[in-house]
Structures are given as C-alpha cells and as structure tokens.
C-alpha cells in the first residue's frame, strides 16, 4: 500500500520534541517521517550515522520543525545514559518511540543465554533507561507519549522466532505495568506490527531458512496465507498508527497493544 494522503494536521505536534529509536530504516524511519509531517522537532537514533544524516535532510524537507541525528548503540547502556543526558540539556522530550531491530530467528532451545542478554539490553534495558530519564520532563511539560514497537507475537507466538517472542512479551508486560504507574499526562502504548515490508522481514526469512531448511519462498507464502488482506503491511501504515497515539488528543488511550497486521491474529 502506498498512500500519500496524510491524515493529520501538519502542525499537530509543533512545539513537541520526539525521539525515534531505530530510525535509520524500516518502521522507525517511516515513523520519523510521519512525525516530521506533523511539525515535530525530530531526533532520530540508530547506529548508522550516515543514514541518519541523510534522513534528517529529508525530514526538514517534509515539515519537521528541526531534525537531529544521534548515532547510538542501544546495547551500551552507559552510552545511552550519556546521550540522553545531553539531549535533555537542550530541552525536554515529550515523545518517545522505543524501537530496535529484533534478534535472529530459530528454535528457542538453540538460544544461548548470552543472546538473551544482548537482546534484552537492546530492547527492554534501553527502553527502561530512556523512559526513566524522559518521564520527569514529560510531566513538567504536561504531556508525554511513549510508544513501543514490538510484535503480534506478544499475543500469538510465531514459530521459529522464540527469542523474539520472549523478548516482545516482556516489553508488553513492562509497558502495561508502567501504564498503571505513570503520571496522568503521560501515556504508554504498544504497536504490534504484523508481516511488514521491511528489510528485517527479509532477514528473518533468511534466518529461518538457514535454521529449518525451508525455502524462502515457502516461508513467505506461509506468512501470507495467514493474512486476510493478502499482502504485506506498508511501514507507512504502522507509522500512522504510532503517530496517532502520540497526538495530544490521544490522551485517553493508555496501556493498549494495537495490532497493525492485516487481520493475521485470530485472538480478539
């Protein structure tokens, strides 16, 4: 799907700073562009500085009030703390999108403990660290929005990505717990992407093929057979859902997990 009819006012987030993690490609990049189109001051974060700098140029062209790149490895928590401290010295951040690349696919029993540690640092540990640092400023601003990009596997585990299933479930429980504790002006919600047209999905298919011996076309066909709309989700569709949850007018939505999956999940 490619839809250039942007549904939100181009000043809907003017005056708000938004930090988008994992923004150099895929869903994160699409969210950064969506935030730019509603006039936010956008800070994009990933390990790829070159890609981020190029993205910032695009963000300014499509409506961002300002655009800043931050090269950061989310697995290095001390570097995360230092980088966020520097950002906060420049001003409060009202919007946080926790997003990071998922771990390799494969059976859960093949996973070493060290792989759990790496994945949890990049996702849960980084998200928790950044959230704790941003919440005071969000409360002082009178508005905060936290959106976590996780997976439909928090409701229905997906075969051959056991580590990712485990990790995403922990993120969802962490988020739901926080939704009961955060100040009234701050919301936290999850987006659960389905099979989305990104390089991550291609890498996952390759990883599963290597682990199981199944062909990549067979893996992809199996995925599509589960999706009622019969196609991959466009990252823009996921980005629009995330942007909606970040609007000031979305303050009544709190602690939910919103699937953008083309109807793949069977659960209610």
Distance of CA 66 to the CA centre of its chain: 21
**Positive or negative: CA dihedral 229, 232, 237, 238:** positive
Question: What's the CA gap between 145 and 207, in Å, rounded?
Answer: 34
**Beta bridge pairs of residue 67:** 42
Which string of DSSP letters, residue by residue, matches 86-121? HHHHH----EEEE--PPPP-B-GGG--HHHHHHHHI
Phi-psi region of 70 (alpha: psi -120 to 50; beta: other; left: phi over 0): beta
Q: Within the chain, how many helices (H) and strands (E) appear? A: 9, 7
Measured in Å, how far apart are the chain's first and last C-alpha atoms? 25
Residue 139 in tokens:
């409360």
For domain 17-196+234-260, the CATH class is: alpha beta
Q: Distance of alpha carbon 231 from its chain centroid, rounded?
A: 21
CA dihedral (125, 131, 134, 135) positive or negative: negative
Count of C-beta atoms within a 10 Å radius of residue 154: 21
pLDDT of res. 55: 98
Looking at residue 240, its pLDDT comes to 97
**Spatial CB neighbours of 224, under 8 Å, sequence gap ≥ 6:** 195, 230, 231, 232
Q: How does pLDDT run along the chain (268 residues), one tens digit per residue?
A: 444 679 999 999 999 999 999 999 999 999 999 999 999 999 999 999 999 999 999 999 999 999 999 999 999 999 999 999 999 999 999 999 999 988 888 889 999 999 999 999 999 999 999 999 999 999 999 999 999 999 999 999 988 889 999 999 999 999 999 999 999 999 999 999 998 988 778 877 887 788 788 898 888 888 888 899 988 899 999 999 999 999 999 999 999 999 999 999 998 8
pTM of the predicted model as reported, rounded to 2 decimal places:
0.93
């Amino acid at each position: 799907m490619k839809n250039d009819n942007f549904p939100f006012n181009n000043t809907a987030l003017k005056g708000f700073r938004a930090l988008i993690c994992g923004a150099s490609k895929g869903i994160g990049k699409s969210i950064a562009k969506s935030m730019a189109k509603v006039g936010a001051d956008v800070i994009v974060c990933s390990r790829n500085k070159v890609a981020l700098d190029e993205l910032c140029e695009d963000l300014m062209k499509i409506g961002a009030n300002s655009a800043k790149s931050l090269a950061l490895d989310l697995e290095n928590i001390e570097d995360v703390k230092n980088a966020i401290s520097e950002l906060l010295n420049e001003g409060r951040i009202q919007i946080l999108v926790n997003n990071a690349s998922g771990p390799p696919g494969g059976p859960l029993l093949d996973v070493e403990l060290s792989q759990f540690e790496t994945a949890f640092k990049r996702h849960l540990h980084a998200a928790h660290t950044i959230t704790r640092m941003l919440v005071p400023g969000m409360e002082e601003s009178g508005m905060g929005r936290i959106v976590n990009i996780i997976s439909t596997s928090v409701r229905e585990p997906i075969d051959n990505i056991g580590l990712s299933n485990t990790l995403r479930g922990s993120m969802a429980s962490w988020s739901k717990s926080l939704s009961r504790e955060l100040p009234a002006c701050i919301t936290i919600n999850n987006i659960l992407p389905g099979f989305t047209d990104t390089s991550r999905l291609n890498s996952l298919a390759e990883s599963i093929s290597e682990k199981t011996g199944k062909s990549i076309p067979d893996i992809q066909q199996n995925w599509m057979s589960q999706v009622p709309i019969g196609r991959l989700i466009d990252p823009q569709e996921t980005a629009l859902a995330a942007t909606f949850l970040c609007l000031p007018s979305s303050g009544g939505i709190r602690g939910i997990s919103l699937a953008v999956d083309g109807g793949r999940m069977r659960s209610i």
